[in-house]
Structure 1
Amino acid sequence: MKKFADVAIRELLPFKQRQVLKMYYIENKNIQQIAEELDIDKSTVSRRLNAAKKFLKKIRKIYSEVAK
């Protein structure tokens, strides 16, 4: 599953969503820090993060159905 998720993130997730996801989870930055660094609104960061999470949930669901 991890390899599948890695590929999905790298190849399918749009760059802006991937960027925010990486900053939030890998670099442990909060929404305010990300917004300041990217010079965007906090609401934009939140939308991108939520879209990325939603995408990953779909990928997880598809993978679990295929892996049966």
Structure 2
Amino acid sequence: MINSEQSIPCPVCNNKIPFNTHQLLLGVQFICSQCSAAIGLAVESKPLVANAMEKLEQVKRRG
């Protein structure tokens, strides 16, 4: 399920595009409901984002 609190502005029309981080890391693209532009994560960015998400989870667990 997509968490509507996680969103990114559409690069074309600035509409909010909701996304799920885990699906984004799996290569899923998300489509703008207003203009149909697609956003996704570049292959070379996946390790960087995955590492950042793991560090965030570690901080949350310490919390």
TM range (shorter): 0.3 to 0.5
Structure with more relative contact order (C-alpha pairs < 8 Å, separation 6 or more): 1
**Structure richer in strand, relative to its length:** 2
- TM-score w.r.t. length of structure 2: 0.40
